[in-house]
Structure 1
Amino acid sequence: MPIRLQDVLKHSSLTPADPVIRAAAAVAAQTQLRWIHSSEVLDIAPLLGGGELLLTGGQALVAATDKRRVGYIWELAERRVAALAIETGTGLPSIPSAMVAAAEAAGLPLIELRKVVPFVGVMEAINSLLVSETAGHLQQADGASHAMAVELAHGGSLDRILAVLADATGTEVVLTSNEGAPLASALPAEQAAEAEPALTANAEQDRARTISVDVSVRGIPSARLTLRALAGSDVNLARIAGNRSVDILALALLQRMPPGLKEMAGAALIRAVDSGTQNWRLQQLAPAAGIPLSARLVAIVVRSPGSRQLRTAVEQLLDRAGRHSASYADNAELLALAVLRPDTTREDRKDILAGLQALELPEGSVSAVGPVAAGIAAAPWSLTEARLTLELASGVGVNSKGTMQSGGVLDAEDFAVERLASHSLDDARRTDFVRQQLGAILVHDEQRHSALLETLRVWLDSGCNTAQAARELHLERQSMHQRLQRIFTLCGGDPRGTGRLAALHLATRLAAMQSTLPGRSLT
């Protein structure tokens, strides 16, 4: 019998915590658990597999901003975590309203534990029950996988193979291509004669009962398996059986739609570029992937919870913007190479940036486009610089005008100064240079809680365009002029038309770079 969230909240190990559901109560009534974890780390989502009840004492949430708290909720929801339970008390008197609203919107059951209980005891008690349940699920899943293999060996169609899985799990099963085109589907035998089951009134409940698994053929993501648990079916069984069936489905797809040489060579080329393989190997793989050895190309890095699903859309974008492309998705990172046309190199690269900005990416996604590489031998350099751009941004991006903004698509060329400084100057030298150029402004900001440094940076990034900088900072023009006069007084006069302008601009960019590094202080 499935172990549900509402049963766990009534368990003797957890009732002393006086739990109360603060968000997504309608979803909580049907939520089934796979495991219980406890963690105080806010970046825990990528380590979870879905179906967990996550316990936290809330210590990390006390110091976090509302934006980070909301991001924490959405990251857990994206990983299909079953529920989040937060212990409140002296440090965190109540769950912040922003988190409650986000959890309700995301359909993530949010539970307040109003009294302290030992999490270790709760996990030992509940997980022991879940282990027993999982053992039974594994036996059933192995039986289903064996039956699917027999069907495949006898030449069964994809529909017939999926029907075995549907009967074993009591789920509606659909196999689609990376482009979303249906390849096969099946319903349990007792449902097959009826009309297709309708979604429930609550879309979040349907989402919680839906399991999606990527199917890779020879390491290349080729299809997606989706199981939607119908009334009375076991979500955990569906999750385990779906994952156990991937190898059988990969074999079936390999017989019917094997990946081409070009696609396999492209994936191998990206892996070689990423691993720093010797140049002779790159020269061997590039022609097979359709990439000329002397081509001008750029590397793209996309970090996203849905990197595998984004692969097709990104490849289509790159093929439209240039001539050829190759990509490879691994965990939460998508790597790609795009060949640019010799006569329109800059235009093609701009089209790639614009196209990435237009893509609908999951919450928390960030990407970077590396500098143009002259030939396949320089591809590892472009990829390294794209990754360095993400590291330097540290959650802060640059738009086409050079203005800092959160997340999104980052252009490595907008970080040319920061990349050069990272390669050529150590932390101490960068800090010393910033203090020499901006020391008086830094002291003023520290003592008076002003924002002169940010004002100067935006003004310099805008090309010393006072009106544009005022708009970006949401200031009246008079207020902007007053700030600039104060800045000029502190830094020795108006820098326009002097050699100090470039030094000040460099210092403001380095100051922004230093401020994103943990433990760094400029004052």
Structure 2
Amino acid sequence: MREDPQAGPAGRSPTVADVLALPVLAGGDPRVVTGEESVDRPVRWVHITELTDPASFLKGGELVLTTGMPLPGDPAGIRRYVDELADVGAAALVIELVRRYHRPPDALVQACAARGLPLVALAKDVNFLEVTQVVHTLILGHQADAMRRTQRVHEAFTALTLRGAGPEEVLRAAAEMTGRTVVLENLVHRALVCEPGAAQASLTDWERRSRTTPGTDRAGPSGSEGWLVAPVEYQGERWGRVVMLADGPSGTAATNRGFGPEDVTVLERTAMALTIARLTGPTPWERTAHRNALRDLAEQRHRSPADARARVAALGLPAEDARFVAVLVDLPPDADTTDAEARLSEELGATGARALVGLLSPVRVGVLLALRPSLPWREAAERLSRAALDAAPGATVCVGAPADGLADVARSFREAARVAEATGRGCLLPPGRSFHERSDIGLRRLLFALRDDPRVQDYAERQLGPLLDHDARHGTGLVATLRGYLDAAGNKTAAARSAGLSRETVYQRLHTIERLLERDLESGEQRTELHVALQALDALRTHPHTGRDR
């Protein structure tokens, strides 16, 4: 929120230091004699007094102005005078050194120092009435501004709630209003959302720091770091909390600034909006947090490796001393993707696997598995794959090679995606394995992955087009004869036996094929070229989404 250099920081009353800097008081050459460390106290009113017991007329937060005329003459009386001001919570005592005193009495200095009450001496005459008018106008104007800003906060969060804003948008609004880092966490201290996104490094060592910050029943400060926290409820029970960090992101006005009433208001409205969003939102926020984290890792959208480590660790996944395996689960077209995602997450959680699980596309669930470096990764991938197939029967599971650190996770996801591109549904697997990996990609799968490339299509057409056209016009089966001949490695007798034809018939057909294609089937190189073309033709005739022939 905007700062007012004359009224002090937005959202709070002017302080003793702010008031002393005003021209109406600065002209009196003010000097802070005691309590300099407390001049950041807010000033809520100004009170002129020449009474020996002014505290009975105060409520706390007043800047007390006096000429010193009523001060008791004995040290005990001065101590009593100061004690009463300190007990009632006066902001500061300002004494004009013109009429009775030309320097502050030692007893007054000692008493104020003992109670930590700021004592300000004015070396020159000051019009106290003018001081009260200026400061009161300032305070009342500031209060009116604060009321208007509070009204805008309420209106903003009401609009967010009415349009069904999710937790990311709600926290982003709170962060923008206050210039603070705002975090949403659940009951087990997993940080699900952090705004602004540039402040992800604030999540470093999050669980430990959060566990040392006690919960509160309402918005208020807590913990050694001075966080402002507020509970978030779901169906009448506490679900988690929203946290506003004491320091804003580097370079913002919030850095090294204490919380004010407007910060509390913003956090209260944030918690309320989150509670309503939790009741109306269809997707558990944990799932959304996992989805967003997985997508950012897979697409390398983090600002820095430190941000990635902090965010992953805040979600409960080890970021150090671990190997990571990217797994893609492609679901059948008729699968309930949200249910499959939830079931897979629950099954992995029940086994104690450390993983992030989330939808990466409408038919693809991504999993990032974190393993101890000594653990055989294929065994862990097999357990995960079987859990995925239990959660979504008919799914295809593809696995990337392990990544030794988070910085390499995107590569593992890319590799898993390439395996998925080369894997049609129903592709055979080696015995004892339920997932596909890079080593499974042979010629057939490579051509399947490249089936949409015009160069592959052109190659198949150039090699086999005349034969396909002849079969289409005359109803012959020359392509099938060529396939059987090549599958028999050029053995005409074996090809004839396999097709149930006489050798003479096969010889005649092969001769026709050579003539139509202008190829020499006795050439090993040309047979290889035609074999590749047939594999490409098979890939082109396979439906890209089901892996079955058209």
Q: TM-score range by the shorter chain?
A: 0.3 to 0.5
* TM-score (structure 2 length as normaliser): 0.33
**Greater radius of gyration (CA):** 2
* TM-score (structure 1 length as normaliser): 0.35
> Per residue, is there more helix in 1 or in 2?
1
